[in-house]
């Protein structure tokens, strides 16, 4: 029995799907205006792992997993204007990068990847129904959701009205009936991406996109809705209000699952704060995607995860040890202890500790596969670590670190290479290397 912490209930609950042969899960995906950072990768890896667990427990074809792509947004428009290109140039570029980066981390493609720009019809239809039901109104080319029309607004975030208004950083606009009302449709100026609608040429609000996509592809009520903690309010709260209002009070999701932040200091990692590092940068430094995946799974998904060089080094050392134990064995049966750990609200730290305690190579290989690990053979893993080009790249990185007087990083690189049988020798002419 899988148990998941449900944000709505504020407790762990047994996971009982509506239909065990068609389990539905929706996770908020990327807004494709820039390169994803490692914090953006955490939900992708977490929910990929949950998807693997569900399919293991209920059958390979049991899960319909949708992860949307927001490809119309003010940040996308700004990026396109900055480069003097069509927004599609920006969105296609960064969606491609996102898929490449997540693929390098072992994240499988979702069953469905609906794009906002391809769902305008269902969005307009949903807005029309909200207006007809007295839950939305038109004002100066905008259509807004009337928060006062939903008596249960705030049920997910459990904030009072003043907290909700402050937390949403609402736009003060004279056309709003209530400061808490939020946009479903907004006008597009000439030359800005937009679509014809009953309220004039414009584009959808962000919150509306997910409600319409879920209804269109998965149904009125889904099993699991996932995303980062930062989406609880206002995004998921607004999704709930829209969907519940248009569906006669029916719940949008039966389980709400949210992952914690990755941080590089006291605050969460974010592009706006500038404290980010991307999977692409980490991969260019010579780290493997599998190492980054294990690092992201090393803490419980609901807890904060401080991103450090030590974390990456520990993940690499753990994988080295697992690959040595797994050798060339074919996959066997998954260890029940690993399944039990993952079934208990995706307790990946416990699952990883149980992996490390396994002695049977075939069981280890199969159990690690449930977490998306040990995807290569031991030979491939260690041969890759000894590739001459990769070694030279690491030596250049170490030289740069020494020049910057970052001796901790320089020592770490030397130790990592030594662990892979590569001995560095510093001399007047620079650094040379040899195999141990």
DSSP sequence for 287-317:
--HHHHHHHHHSS-TTS-EE--HHHHHHHHH
pLDDT of 149 strictly over 90:
yes
For residues 243-251, give the mean pLDDT.
98
pLDDT bin (cut points 50, 70, 90) of residue 388 is low
Residue 269 has a pLDDT of 67
pLDDT of 313 strictly over 60:
yes
For residues 323-335, give the mean pLDDT.
86
- Cβ atoms of 352 and 294 within 8 Å: the answer is yes
For residues 402-427, give the mean pLDDT.
84
Closest listed residue to residue 287, CA positions, set 105, 14, 122, 19 = 105
pLDDT of 3 strictly over 80:
yes
pLDDT of 129 strictly over 60:
yes
Residue 356 has a pLDDT of 95
Closest listed residue to residue 273, CA positions, set 50, 37, 98 = 37
Residue 394 has a pLDDT of 82
pLDDT of 168 strictly over 70:
no
pLDDT bin (cut points 50, 70, 90) of residue 272 is low
Report the C-alpha gap between 244 and 102 in whole angstroms: 32
Least confident of 197-201, 221-225, 282-286, 425-429: 425-429
For residues 302-319, give the mean pLDDT.
94
pLDDT of 199 strictly over 90:
yes
Residue 391 has a pLDDT of 77
For residues 27-38, give the mean pLDDT.
97
Residue 370 has a pLDDT of 97
For residues 47-53, give the mean pLDDT.
98
Give me the percent of the chain exceeding a pLDDT of 70: 93
For residues 192-203, give the mean pLDDT.
98
For residues 51-59, give the mean pLDDT.
98
pLDDT of 340 strictly over 80:
yes
Residue 384 has a pLDDT of 65
**Mean pLDDT of the chain, nearest integer:** 92
Q: Which two tokens stand for residue 16?
A: 């009982």
Give me the percent of the chain exceeding a pLDDT of 90: 76
Residue 286 has a pLDDT of 86
What tens digit of pLDDT does each residue of 93-102 get?
A: 999 999 999 9
pLDDT of 39 strictly over 70:
yes
Residue 386 has a pLDDT of 56
For residues 189-208, give the mean pLDDT.
97
In 3-113, which ranges are E strands? Answer: 3-6, 11-14, 23-27, 63-67
Residue 336 has a pLDDT of 98
For residues 54-79, give the mean pLDDT.
98
Report the C-alpha gap between 170 and 119 in whole angstroms: 26
* Sheet arrangement for strand 63-67: 63-67, 23-27, 222-228, 253-259
* Calculated CA dihedral for residues 325, 326, 327, 331, nearest 10 degrees: 160
pLDDT of 239 strictly over 70:
yes
For residues 80-90, give the mean pLDDT.
97
pLDDT of 10 strictly over 80:
yes
Question: Rounded to whole angstroms, what are the CA distances from 72 to 19, 214, 279?
Answer: 33, 17, 24
Report the C-alpha gap between 289 and 414 in whole angstroms: 20
Residue 273 has a pLDDT of 66
Q: What is the DSSP letter of 339?
A: H
pLDDT of 171 strictly over 70:
no
**Phi and psi at residue 222, to the nearest 5°:** -105, 170
Report the C-alpha gap between 69 and 8 in whole angstroms: 25
């Amino acid at each position: 029995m899988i148990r998941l912490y449900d944000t709505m209930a504020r407790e762990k609950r047994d996971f009982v799907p509506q239909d065990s042969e068609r389990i539905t899960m929706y996770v908020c995906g990327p807004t494709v205006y820039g390169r994803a950072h490692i914090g953006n990768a955490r939900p992708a890896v977490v929910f990929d792992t949950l998807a693997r667990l569900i399919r293991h427990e209920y059958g390979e074809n049991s899960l319909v997993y949708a992860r949307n792509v927001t490809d119309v947004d003010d940040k996308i428009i700004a990026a396109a204007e900055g480069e003097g290109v069509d927004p599609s140039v920006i969105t296609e570029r960064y969606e491609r990068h996102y898929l490449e980066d997540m693929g390098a981390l072992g994240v499988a493609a979702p069953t469905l990847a609906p794009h906002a720009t391809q769902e305008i019809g269902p969005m307009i239809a949903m807005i029309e129904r909200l207006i007809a039901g007295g839950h939305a109104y038109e004002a100066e080319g905008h259509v807004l959701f009337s928060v006062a029309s939903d008596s249960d607004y705030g049920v997910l975030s459990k904030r009072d009205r003043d907290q909700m208004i402050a937390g949403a950083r609402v736009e003060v606009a004279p056309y709003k009936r209530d400061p808490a009302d939020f946009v479903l449709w907004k006008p597009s100026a000439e030359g800005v991406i937009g679509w014809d609608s009953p309220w004039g040429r414009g584009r959808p609000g962000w919150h509306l996109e997910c409600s319409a996509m879920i209804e269109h592809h998965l149904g009125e009520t889904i099993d699991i809705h996932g995303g980062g903690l930062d989406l609880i309010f206002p995004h998921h709260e607004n999704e709930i209000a829209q969907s519940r209002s248009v569906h006669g009070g029916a719940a949008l999701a039966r389980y709400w699952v949210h992952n914690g932040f990755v941080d590089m200091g006291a605050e969460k990692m974010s592009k706006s704060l500038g404290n980010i590092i991307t999977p692409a940068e980490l991969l260019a430094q010579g780290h493997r995607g599998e190492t980054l995946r294990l690092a992201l799974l090393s803490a419980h998904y609901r807890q904060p995860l401080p991103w450090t060089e030590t974390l990456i080094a520990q993940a690499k050392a753990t994988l080295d040890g697992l690959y040595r134990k797994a050798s060339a064995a074919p996959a066997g049966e998954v260890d029940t202890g690993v399944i039990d750990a993952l079934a208990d609200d995706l307790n990946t730290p416990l699952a990883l500790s149980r992996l490390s305690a396994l002695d049977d190579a075939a069981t280890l290989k199969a159990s690690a596969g449930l977490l998306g690990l040990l995807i290569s053979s031991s030979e491939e893993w260690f041969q890759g670590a000894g590739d001459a080009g990769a070694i030279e790249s690491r030596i250049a990185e170490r030289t740069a670190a020494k020049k910057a007087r970052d001796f901790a990083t320089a020592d770490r690189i030397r130790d990592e290479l030594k662990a892979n049988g590569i001995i560095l020798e510093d001399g007047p002419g620079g650094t040379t290397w040899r195999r141990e």
